[in-house]
Amino acid sequence: MKLAIGCDHAGFSLKEFLKSNFNEIDWLDKGCYSADSVDYPDFAHAVARSIEDKETELGILICGSGNGISIAANKHADIRAAIAWKPELASLARQHNDANILSLPARFISELEAIEIVKAFLEASFEGGRHQARVDKISC
């Protein structure tokens, strides 16, 4: 599986931790590449474009709260970035909302929680059915 990943400075160490703990994933690392201060939209757009360009099907974004990076990614038409701080939220984002980007709040979860959240996101799939009509109404 190939997955895009990106973060800002607040998410850098968690990004590196996840990459080293999911060896079965072919990571497309869109940055950032250090803990030096950067602007999260740059990396949100890079991950979103990798999905739009069909380089990857899914992505993970990480910033301090998960909010800013999600907001930036969700400006892209076919991107559905969802913040999760529990595995159940990650599963539901995929199952009910067909989320294609998982956003993690690095300052509010532990590394072990992040592993469980990512696993839940990757193991879930879109249920379609009654959820499809709702997802179809998201784009403006």
Active site positions, annotated = 63, 96
* Cα distance between residue 51 and residue 53, in whole Å: 5
Q: Per residue in 31-67, is it b (16+ CB within 10 Å) or e — as a string?
A: bbeeeeebebeebbbbbbbbbeeeebebbbbbbbbbe
Q: Kindly tell me the number of DSSP H helices and DSSP E strands found in the chain.
A: 6, 5
* Cα distance between residue 133 and residue 140, in whole Å: 14
- List the beta bridge partners of residue 83: 103
* Cα distance between residue 59 and residue 47, in whole Å: 6
- Token digits of residue 95: 């199952």
